[in-house]
Each structure stands twice: as structure tokens, then as C-alpha cells.
Structure 1
Amino acid sequence: MVLRNLVCWLFIVVVIIGISAVKTHKKQKKIRTVNKKIVTVKIQSPSPLTQELFETRPEYNPASVFLKKAEQLFHPIIVQAANRYQVDAALIKAIIMAESGYNPMAISKRGAIGLMQLMPDTAESLGVEDSFNPKHNIDGGVRYFKQLVLQFDGNVKLALAAYNAGSSNVRFYQGIPPFKATQFYIQKVFKFFHIYKNRKATETGRA
């Protein structure tokens, strides 16, 4: 498991800095969005080895060694976007943890892509060129989340509900929708948020 985590970690480094040491190939994938529209996205697929590594990634726990390293790796990008759009970086880390578990190549059953799980239509509206690119994905995801925060008058819980279930559902129910998945999602994000917030406070205290 230690060796597998190390190799997986090294692969993430390769993805982010753009080194082509790991052979990849581009292909197209058709994805059906929520509104049943079919869109085609170009993706850079990992080799069978790296694909297997992500399929067997470590325990879904922000305290795991692998995810701590992943968080540290993406930290500069997250902080840059958080500062740009004036959102708490710890909250963005929590959203990424809940959405993708820090897997930049994640694709949900609904077709959401990347670290912050952007739907193709949303990514297009935000001008995100490549949802598999961590920097593009995080910048677009944070910008979209900030739009939702403003839309719901600074109510973070409603913004999270909209990020998960869509702003139309939040408006329809005039609050958090009665969807178990959405309610659990909000609880999960806040749980992760407190973990990252406390970790930052601890690290600051040691400095």
C-alpha cells in the first residue's frame, strides 16, 4: 500500500507540472449532462497503470498521508483562487475533498469533471478550457462557488446546496432541498472544513 500510494502521488505531480514521463493518449468522451444534452469532451487518458492506481486510491480520509500530500501539492493553486475570489481556502479544500477526493481526473456518473467536479455546461459558461487541468478547474470552481455565495446573499450552506443540487432546486424549495445526498454533502463539507481550518491553526501555532 505504501508503494502504491507513493507511485500514485508521483503520478499526480506528473499531471500537474505537465511532464510527459507517463505515456498518455488523447481521446474523446461523450457525456450526458443533467439536462440530457450530449456533449463531447477531449480528455487525456492515463495509461492502464495510472488508471489502475486511481481506481485503487487510498482511504477517503483527509488525514491520510496521501491526501495530506495531495492537499499540499494543490495548496498554492487553491490559495491563489481563494484570494482572487475572496473565499476561505479551507472551505475550497473541503469542497474538493467532498467532490473528488483530490483526484484531478475524476468523472462522476452525471459527467462532472475534475477536482471540483464541474459539469461541462458550467465549465463552458465559466470559460474553463480544460476541466482536467487542476489550475483551470479550481479557478473555475471557486469562481462558480463565489457566484453562488453572492446569489444567496452570503449564505454558505445555501451556496453549497446549490453547488451540489443546482441553484434552481434551492430557489424552488426556498432553502436546502430535502435531498439526503445534498444534506449529507453539506455536512461532509463542513466536517472537512473544520479539519482543514484546525490544521491551519495548528500549523500557524507551530510557526
Structure 2
Amino acid sequence: MNAHRLCRLPAQCWSLTECCRYHARMNRSRYLAKSRLRRPRALFAALAISLAGSVHAGAPSVASLSGAPTSTQLQWAARFEHGEGIPRDVGRAVQLYCLAASRGSSEAQYQLGWMYANGRGVPRDDALAAAWFRKAAAKGDAISQRLLIAFGKVKMKSASCVGPTRGAGAGVVQVAYRAAPRVDFESTPERRQIVAWVREMAPEYQLDPDLVLAVLAMESGFSSSAVSPKNAQGLMQLIPETADRFGVQDAFDPVQNLRGGMAYLRWLLAFFGGDVPLALAGYNAGEKAVERYGGVPPYPETQAYVSRIVQRYGKIWHPPVAGVVEPSALISAAAARVQAESKP
């Protein structure tokens, strides 16, 4: 498809470049009109906080917005996308649009289609853009219906979220969610046994077995005898301190190791409010590093680790288990801010 084919539709456009500018103006005008009508004071409050210093002090995490109304998710997504009153963070914008889209928001579905069609802070992907436009069009979104005509025949793809490339915005380090190599979880009798253990035990820890398997595959490749250069051991690669912390006496015993790794993963998900990328970053680099950087630390190893597991798992949020641990200050401060912003 021509790089500017999307921009041939409006009658107002007399050139491809002008047409793309028209669409950009249309999107921005629609966002600004809504934000001014809905929360004029919130923009000034967020601006004051962002000027005072930390990005995260003035902006909620994705996890803290996961249970917010769809309209609130859309407002924050647009603010992150455009950098209105807060530092621009396309990564959070995409994640919030994804949360709203998963609830059936045609506006979020359209925005995702537009971002992927134009490579706006994310890898350009015509098939993915068409998939999102198709969802919005099915809900009666007239612009999406017209844009689909411009695509013609493109490769069919299911609507999913692929994260931004590095440098897409300010603040937290952006993680590029590239396709992770497929892993055959049941290629050998040993692997089939490990998968069976995970599917049996994960519900005891209120964990999604697919998330545990994605972590396990990345950590040890299903090897119960694996040892890393940093002395991380066994299936879930527990360092001795973590093994002691979660009551693992023999890290090379596969069942003990799985239980210790799942206990730690549950703890991290509770600590970071169900935010999967933050929990994974904590598993790899330690929760203190995540708090110190206010997000995924800028370590190449950790960024690649989070990227590959999120791509394999396919979700950015997991229900946290209540009562395991008090949430991180990152999460509790953001949640309090969202609650305050939601009041009339």
C-alpha cells in the first residue's frame, strides 16, 4: 500500500502531504476539544506537577487506570499521546488505548488504527492498522469505514497491540514489543511434565499459567538445572536470596523452584498493581530498580526481557492478588491522583 494512501480520502485535500496534515489536525482538534470540555483544570494541575520534576509524580500508571472508566482511559491516553500538560509518552498512550479498545471503545480502536497506519510512535503496520479500523468500522465509526476502503486488500491480521519504538516519548524508557520466537512448550516428556505442574499450581497462586510459562521459557528454557552467571538457579532462575525469601530449600528441585518463582511473581504483580511490564522488570532487575527509575529500567537486558515476554504473553495487565503486599508508592500515588481527577 502507498505510504500516503490513507490520505486520499477527504475532499479537502489537494495533495497527499496536505491530506496527512488534515488528518493530523482533525485528530488533534478532536482531542483538544474534548480535553477542554471535560477537564480544563486537570491540564493545568498536571502541567504544574510535571514542571516540578518527576514524570511519574504527575501521571498515573497504566495499572492504576486499568479499572478506571473507559472515558478516563481515553482522556489520559490522548494526553500521553499529545503531551498535553504532561510529558509525551506514546508507550502509555498505546497501552491505555488498548485497554479502552478491549472494552469495545470504537474511539480507541480508531486511534490505534491511525497510529499504526502512520507509524505514530509505533512500528508502522498496515495490516494491524486495518484490523483496528475494521473493529471500529464494525461499531459504526464512519471515518474507519472510509479509511478501510483505502487499504484495499491487505494481509489479514487480528487486532493486537505492539508497543512503541525507543525514543517515542519522554519519561519512562520505551520498550519495543517485537515478535518473540515461538516456544513449543510440550516438545518433550520433560516439558510436558513441567507444563502440567504449572497449570496445576498456578491457580493456587492466582496466576495465569500462560504468564508463568512465558517467564519460565525466557528464564531457563525449561531447564531445571540451569545456572546463570549471576547464580540464578533452576526453572524460574531464583537467586539464593530470592529462594530464601520465598522458602525454597532446593532451587534445583523443579516443584520447589516453580512454587518459589510463582510466589515471587505474585508478589511483584501485587506490588505493581497488576502492571505486567513493571512486574517483569522487577523479576529481572529487582523491584527497587523499577522504583528508582519509575518504570522499566534503562538496562538493555531488562528491556529485551520485558519486551519478549509481553509479546509472548500478549497482555499488559494481570489481576493482582489482594493482601499480598502494600502497593508500591508508584502505584498508590498514581491511584490517588486518578481518584482525585475523577471527582467533579
Checking the alignment, whether the CA contact within 8 Å between 2:185 and 2:191 is kept in structure 1 is no
- Match of 2:292? 172
Residue by residue over 1:160-193, the C-alpha shift from the partner in whole angstroms, topping out at 9 and shown as x without a partner, is: 0000000010000011101111010011112332
Q: How far has the Cα of 1:65 moved from its partner?
A: 6.8
Which structure has the larger Rg?
2
Residue by residue over 1:48-76, the C-alpha shift from the partner in whole angstroms, topping out at 9 and shown as x without a partner, is: xxxxxxxxxxxx8513874x644322122
Report the residue type matching 1:118 in the other structure. L
- Match of 1:63? 184
Change (3 A) 1:82 1:172: same
Report the residue type matching 2:249 in the other structure. E
Q: Does 1:152 align with 2:272?
A: yes
- Match of 1:74? 194
- Match of 1:162? 282
- Match of 2:261? 141
Report the residue type matching 2:307 in the other structure. Q
- Match of 1:94? 214
Checking the alignment, whether the CA contact within 8 Å between 1:97 and 1:192 is kept in structure 2 is no
Report the residue type matching 1:78 in the other structure. V
Checking the alignment, whether the CA contact within 8 Å between 2:186 and 2:195 is kept in structure 1 is no
Report the residue type matching 2:183 in the other structure. P
Identity of paired residues, percent?
37
Give, in whole Å, the separation in 2 of the partners of 1:69 and 1:192: 22
Change (3 A) 1:69 1:174: same
- Match of 1:128? 248
5+ unaligned residues in a row in structure 2: which ranges?
A: 1-180, 315-344
Report the residue type matching 2:216 in the other structure. I
How many residues are paired up? 134
Report the residue type matching 1:157 in the other structure. P
Root-mean-square deviation (CA), in Å?
A: 1.8
- Match of 1:193? 313
Query: Is the strand fraction higher in 1 or 2?
Result: 1
Secondary structure at the aligned position of 2:231 is classed as coil
Q: How far has the Cα of 1:88 moved from its partner?
A: 0.6
Secondary structure at the aligned position of 1:140 is classed as helix
